Structure 1
């Protein structure tokens, strides 16, 4: 009987409560899994990443630093939700264990009101205050995201500026090679022309010699 009672209590604990806020541990676990996957890919591509990092260590180090600050800030923002969820659940249970930060206006309004029901205007004011607090906490994250995009574009343009002189040098070397090839082809053509002219001169000399021999034979035949 004691075992059945304990099993019944465990089953009651596992029952889903729709009026209880869920813990943000799922989102925190998702973030950790994503970072583990990224770290695994970075470990596989260590050689390529190190060679790319060494091309501009100052700018790449700044990008990694801003990324690390943004990751820590994102984890801190998710961690702030644990306090608020704990306060809401404890308030519904009738025992407040922590003091909220984001939901401080809600607690103040609940403390001033004798009933739990709120008017439409007061509810809108409270929600606007909470939304403003959330937007203020997300402003830094948005700024860091924009800064990372800007630094990435700056690194791209930096690489292009470093690549353009190399491309110009390669094009100049290619032009020099083509001009040298053209000079060699012209010299070879001149050699072939000289050889053809020499062959034609030899043929002319041989023809003249044959004509002289033929004239001499004719003269001896007449005598």
Structure 2
């Protein structure tokens, strides 16, 4: 019996935690090597880049917490089957399992319906624990794109200001000096857009790897827990015994209810698929409109660049003639 319990022992998630720590150490080592470049890029927009790094730090803490919180749950489950010392604190993810087996009752047989209810409850709790980490990963990408459009707006506005300032003076030398001074603002706007995207994408890469390791640890925890509970399933009553114990009239009524339930589920699935298709179509149309706006902006920018180039050539020609 002890040998059978040892085969049902839940594995510790230390290997996934070790991978996460090693990855963070490597990322920190790379950041240390590129310290000067990162510091220069950070100062391009300290406010937004600081917010990105703050979200990254919170995401790292939550990612490590998702794996660490599995340890007391595993310790409690192993203590329930008689492998290892039982945990002193009541479980959180396995709270339905603790209420089912009770305090001091030990590991006993359960029905198949109870097994499925327990696994569904634990799976829902595990999915809910990862929602914040997934949201933070998407938030980093959003902040990076926000910095990109912020920098592009500053670039477009500064270029317009440079063009307006060049038309107010008739002296070519003064106009040329104003042009050189005015080009600093568009370059600063481009640095804001590029650095924010850099920090956002790098942060999403780190959080994505941590979420991947946390998901693997939770999946192994769930699979081993399913094996543990499946070994305790009470199979003394099979389907034939249950069907013979039910009266024919009640069995026919149950069959009708099951058929209607399957039909309603299929209809709900069809409606959900239709809504999903409409949502995807709307998203595609929205992306196409945004692509068209960006294409128009690029064409307008190209025309402005041509005007600036012609103006510079004219100024150069006038200076050579003088």
TM range (shorter): 0.5 to 0.7
Q: CA RMSD in A?
A: 2.6
SS of 1:51's partner is helix
1:63 corresponds in structure 2 to 52
Q: Which residue of 1 aligns with 2:82?
A: 93
Structure 1 residue 155, shift from structure 2 partner: 1.4
**For the structure 1 residues 167 and 51, does the alpha-carbon distance in structure 2 shift closer, same or farther, using more than 3 Å as the test?**
farther
Q: TM-score, normalised by structure 2?
A: 0.48
The answer for the alignment partner of 2:37 in structure 1 is 48
Pair 1:60–1:84, CA change in 2 (3 A)? same
1:145/1:27 Cα in 2 relative to 1: closer, same or farther (>3 Å)? same
Shift of 1:119: 2.0
Q: Give the superposition deviation at 1:184.
A: 6.1
**Between Structure 1 and Structure 2, whose CA radius of gyration is higher?**
1
Alpha-carbon offset, residue 173 of structure 1: 5.3
- How far apart are 1:96 and its partner, in Å? 2.8
Spell out the pairing of 1:132-151 with structure 2 (5 A cutoff).
132-151=124-143
**More displaced, 125-134 or 63-72?**
125-134
Q: Could you list the runs of 5+ residues in structure 1 that have no partner in the other structure?
A: 1-16, 189-223
Pair 1:160–1:90, CA change in 2 (3 A): same
CA gap of 1:20–1:31, structure 2 versus 1, over 3 A, is same
Secondary structure of 1:93's match?
coil
- Alignment-derived partner of residue 108 in structure 1: 99
The alpha-carbon deviation at position 117 of structure 1 amounts to 2.4
Q: Structure 1 CA distance, aligned partners of 2:121 and 2:97?
A: 9
Matches within 5 A, 1:52-201: 52-93=41-82, 96-98=86-88, 99-111=90-102, 116-165=108-157, 169=162, 171=305, 174-183=309-318
Q: CA deviation at 1:121?
A: 1.7
CA distance in 1, matches of 2:112, 2:24: 42
Structure 2 residues without counterparts, runs of 5 or longer: 1-5, 163-182, 184-304
Counterpart CA distance in 2 for 1:157 and 1:132 is 37
Q: How many residues align?
A: 171
Listed one character per residue, the Cα deviations across residues 132-164 of structure 1 (whole Å, up to 9, x for unaligned) are 211221121122112111111111222222333
The residue number in structure 2 matching 1:28 is 17
- List per-residue Cα deviations over 1:55-94 (Å, max 9, x = no partner): 1100000000011011111111211101011111111116
